[in-house]
Chain A
Amino acid sequence: MLLEVKNLCVDFKVGKQTLRAVNDVSFSLGERDSLGLVGESGCGKSTTAFALMRLLAKNGRIAGGQVLLNGLDLASAPYDEIRKVRWKDIAIIFQNAMTALNPVQKIGNQLVNALQEHENVSRKEAIERAEYLFERVGIAKSRLMQYPHEFSGGMKQRAVIALALICKPKILIADEPTTALDVVAQRQVIELLAGLQDEFHISIIMISHDISAVAEACSHIAVMYGGEIMEMGNSKDVLIRNNHPYTHALVGSFPSLHKPLSALMQIPGGAPNLADMPVGCPFSPRCPYATDLCREKKPPMRQVRLGKLCKCHYAEELDFNRKEG
């Protein structure tokens, strides 16, 4: 395994309270794997990703667990070690491409500087590599020495991807890479990520609230809710043959272009409040199938079938698809 996350917990101090934003999250990522972390705002998906790179805000800290990258525990490693790993081994693309690019520096120079920071290469070599990456992400290399404002939103996002890949990282974390983009540009980015994976042998962790985008970009999906992974497995297996009521509701609340028109599923209640989490299953207050057992006892993560993990007491019994027939 390239990356192994074991029982990761992240706490945030807000005032006098300590809130657990990520609770006991475990997953592993092999070479050329792609994992999508999906969930709604506040579910802990971005926090998980930031914790992997030790990019948590000042009031946050890793409260437990391990993040093993080739045997090095990123959760406890000294900061100097982390700095070496960042960008060289793990690179990240932020949600907002506009903030990742320096507006007063030519994009090409930003790529070259990032590479020269980590590797001992001449400027000429660095430019060659930047040009190659530009063409690879679908931007003419003649535009390398332009400023960010001369690019459209989709192009900026692709330039940021090129910037993330300049040091040939092994893992690429993409935080909502498609959210700010139009449909067509979104698709280009998704296709690009999939293509790059084959060419550069990178593993991808993609964070998004858009399950259909993640389903296209990633082979595996982990659905998060209230800081925990609720269901994890092969993308289609999670999203179409779901075992968790939350996954089911999430999929059902998305209007689709291809499904026959039917009423959209509505999840009652609001997002979970981290300061006041239920004792039992975090989804139990909103779950239509919840019983006393769910409200009192946290369900363990268990395998419901080969390659499919689910955190629900009734994972096998609830067969939504049959019921709706």
Chain B
Amino acid sequence: MRKVKTFFRDPQSIIGLIILAVMLILAIFAPVICPGSPLFSVGAPLQAPGGDFLMGTDYLGRDVWAMLVWGSRVSIIFAFGASLLSLLVGIVLGALSGYIGGWLDDLMCRIFELFYIIPRTFLVILMVAFFGSSIGLMVIIVGLTIWPSNAKIMRAQVLTLKRRGYVQAADVAGGGRLSILFRHIVPNGMGPVLSNSVLQMAQAVLTEASLSFLGLGDPNQASWGLILNAGQRNISTAPWLVIYPGIALALLLLAFNLIGTALHKTLNVKQTVME
């Protein structure tokens, strides 16, 4: 419980959590804040910010503020969806690999490394080209490409934790192998994996933004990458088209990084012990 306290007292995590909370509110209440689809043209194209529209309009006359608000949904879904998937896959594969060991471990490690060296953006582009760009599919693809770091961390955790006394004690108490692994070893090794997966949220958001920017995103969803994509042709005359989504993206990434590092500090640093 002391760890929870230190986490919530850390200025880093407080700032991160505030930004994230604002983004979450925007995402959840998007239909209330900006009713109607953000993808319809609502005014004259390329209006400057401050007039009828808080953040101006793009070349199709779409409200940038509305797109930004709705776009936060996509970013948040990506962040949580992809990292959750990556967490699940990473934990299960990493834990099994470390616990069972032997040739299976060797094989799994090679697979982890294989996923490391595949150029992710390229893979995603390939998949989108094959299967079309629905947001659900993209979340799955991104999630299934970022898990190896979680797996590697969990594997390392399991390797040290499986020698702990309470693991042997659980064996003597009659626990089965899987139950020992997932009840005693994995919960005690979650710290570093969790902090890593918060950092991965940033990665997922960035990946989505780059894809949408390249025009490979879901065309039926307003996303920050989409605004950037639409704005690039007018960048010299209407810089707000890239500035606002850019700031939003930077803020969200900052939030995830702040929370991730704060989490890392609280979960992994050993408490100083007297004597």
Residues on B facing A (Cβ under 8 Å)? 272, 274-275
Contacts and interface: CB of A to CB of B under 8 A. Distances in A.
A41 B272 contact: no
Interface of A: 12, 14, 19, 21, 41-42, 44, 46-47, 57-60
Nearest to A274: B274
A46 B274 CA distance: 10
B274 A14 contact: yes
A44 B275 CA distance: 7
Which 4 pairs, one residue from A and one from B, show the smallest C-beta to C-beta distance?
Answer: A46-B275, A12-B274, A47-B275, A42-B275
A59 B272 contact: yes
Say what secondary structure dominates the interface of chain B: loop
A41 B274 contact: no
Nearest to A46: B275
Contacts of A42: 274-275
A14 B272 CA distance: 9
Given A14-B274, A21-B274, A58-B272, 13 more contacts: A12-B274, A19-B274, A21-B275, A41-B275, A42-B274, A42-B275, A44-B275, A46-B275, A47-B275, A57-B272, A57-B274, A59-B272, A60-B274
Contacts of A44: 275
Nearest to B274: A12
Nearest to B273: A57
Contacts of A12: 274
Nearest to B5: A15
A63 to B, nearest CB: 15
Contacts of A47: 274-275
A14 B275 CA distance: 13
A316 B274 CA distance: 35
B60 to A, nearest CB: 57
A275 B275 CA distance: 15
Contacts of B272: 57-59
17 contacts: A12-B274, A14-B274, A19-B274, A21-B274, A21-B275, A41-B275, A42-B274, A42-B275, A44-B275, A46-B275, A47-B274, A47-B275, A57-B272, A57-B274, A58-B272, A59-B272, A60-B274
Contacts of A21: 274-275
A94 B275 CA distance: 12
Nearest to A50: B275
A180 B275 CA distance: 17
Nearest to A59: B272
Nearest to A60: B274
Contacts of B274: 12, 14, 19, 21, 42, 47, 57, 60
B51 to A, nearest CB: 53
A272 B94 CA distance: 43
Contacts of A14: 274
Contacts of A57: 272, 274
A57 B274 CA distance: 8
Contacts of A19: 274
Contacts of B275: 21, 41-42, 44, 46-47
A244 B274 CA distance: 26
Nearest to B2: A15
A245 to B, nearest CB: 23
B10 to A, nearest CB: 14
A12 B272 CA distance: 11
B274 to A, nearest CB: 6
A178 B272 CA distance: 25
B88 to A, nearest CB: 36
A47 B274 CA distance: 8
Contacts of A46: 275
Contacts of A60: 274
A47 B272 CA distance: 14
A287 B35 CA distance: 74
A46 B275 CA distance: 6
A59 B272 CA distance: 9
B117 to A, nearest CB: 32
